[in-house]
């Protein structure tokens, strides 16, 4: 299975494949090489001056050139399954470059404070009964650039085919991507295996199987994704909860303590930061990109991203919340 790159930072693992054309091409690399830092993207709109702890205004406008039409991501491409990369009509209709919506201006990095981590893994799951979508974006803590992304649709394991069809039609039919889901969804156990291979590719995973993250942390909009849903799904899939899910950064808690005001969700944060929504709310890949944009904005304003919740390794069901002031 291929892992499409938001930008080309280095080749993929030997057993992975490139979908840059309609023909699969195995790639061979030196697995000991370190991921390269991405080069700066085309400039965004610049931030206006603001004191640390106050959101800059006007904040990030739509990250595209004046008059340029926004295009949705090709969700076959995000999963390495696009077979229309040479079709000009398809390429005109859909975006195949994740960095297009996450461009940053070089001058924005001047206000970033020193972070304790090298990378942030922005995660936003979809699916209330079982996980249906698993998107993750790597954001470089120093440059704020997107390094790479991982995206899989997930097939439920404890639902009848009829119930799955009803569930998917209700969830993804309104976005017009239910066909993509049916064509690409795989079991959660397989998603975890591919995700761990992807983490290993970027040297973000410890040497042991399911080990802790290396100089990286998940960033979520709330605690539900990693406190509740992933452990539930692991039980359903009959797999052990991986160690890399033991701690995370709840962006809402950092937002509350940095800007000194509450934001109950992604839409509230974006509204207060004067950021337009890109894509469809509750489509996981779009939400993960919008959360990453909020993260970029906060980093540019000087926010320090710290772990907000941590599980007890001896009793994983116990979660310690590390911020006194937090969104409950």
In 3D, which of 276, 231, 271 has the Cα closest to residue 255? 271
96, 126, 130, 151: the catalytic one is 126
* Active-site choice (54, 166, 169, 282): 282
Instruction: Look at the block and give the residue holding tokens 């990095």.
Output: 109
Structure tokens of 17? 């494949």
> Token pair for residue 127?
């699916």
- Establish whether 313 is a catalytic residue: no
- Whole-angstrom CA distances from 1 to 6, 14, 68 are 16, 11, 32
What is the chain's percent helix, strand, coil content, to nearest 5? 30, 15, 55
Whether omega before 197 lies within 30 degrees of 0, making that bond cis, reads no
In the residue annotation, 126 being an active-site residue is answered as: yes
Pairing verdict, β 146-155 and 186-187: parallel
Q: How far apart are CA 292 and CA 146, in angstroms?
A: 9
Contact of 118 with 80, CB cutoff 8 Å: no
Find out whether 217 and 305 touch, Cβ atoms under 8 Å.
yes
Buried b (16+ CB within 10 A) or exposed e, 262-289: ebeebeebbebbebeebbbeebbbbbbb
Query: Scanning the structure block, which residue is given the tokens 């603001």?
Result: 50
User: In the 8-state DSSP scheme, what is residue 137?
Assistant: E
Distances (CA, A) of 187 to 1, 107, 131, 132, 237: 14, 43, 10, 9, 8
| CA 316 to chain CA centroid, nearest Å | 24
Active site residues: 126, 282
């Amino acid at each position: 299975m291929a892992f499409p790159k938001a930008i080309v930072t280095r080749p993929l693992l030997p057993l992975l494949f490139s979908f840059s054309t309609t023909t699969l091409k195995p790639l061979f690399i030196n697995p000991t090489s370190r991921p390269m830092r991405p080069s700066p993207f085309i400039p965004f709109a610049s931030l206006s001056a603001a004191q640390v702890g106050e959101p800059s205004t006007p904040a990030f406008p739509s990250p595209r050139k004046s008059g340029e039409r926004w295009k949705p991501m090709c969700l076959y491409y995000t999963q390495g399954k696009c077979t229309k990369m040479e079709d000009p009509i398809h390429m005109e209709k859909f975006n195949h470059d994740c960095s297009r919506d996450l461009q940053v201006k070089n001058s924005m990095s001047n206000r970033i404070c020193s972070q304790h981590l090298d990378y942030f893994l922005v995660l936003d799951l979809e699916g209330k009964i079982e996980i249906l979508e698993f998107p993750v974006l790597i954001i470089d803590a120093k440059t704020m650039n997107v390094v790479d992304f991982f995206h899989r649709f997930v097939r439920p394991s404890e639902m009848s085919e009829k119930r799955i069809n009803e569930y998917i039609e209700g969830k993804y039919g309104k976005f017009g991507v239910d066909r993509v889901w049916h064509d690409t969804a795989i079991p959660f156990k397989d998603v975890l295996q591919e995700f761990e291979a992807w983490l290993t590719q970027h040297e973000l995973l410890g040497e042991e199987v399911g080990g802790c993250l290396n100089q990286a942390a998940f960033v979520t909009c709330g605690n539900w994704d990693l406190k509740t849903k992933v452990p539930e799904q692991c039980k359903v899939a009959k797999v052990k909860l991986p160690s890399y899910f033991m701690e995370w950064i709840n962006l809402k808690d950092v937002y509350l303590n940095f800007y000194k005001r509450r934001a109950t969700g992604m839409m509230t944060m974006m509204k207060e930061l004067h950021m337009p929504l890109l894509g469809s709310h509750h489509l996981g890949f779009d939400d993960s990109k919008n959360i990453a944009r909020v993260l970029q904005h906060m980093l540019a304003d000087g926010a320090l991203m710290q772990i907000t919740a941590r599980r007890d390794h001896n009793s994983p069901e116990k979660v310690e919340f590390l911020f006194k002031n937090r969104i409950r």
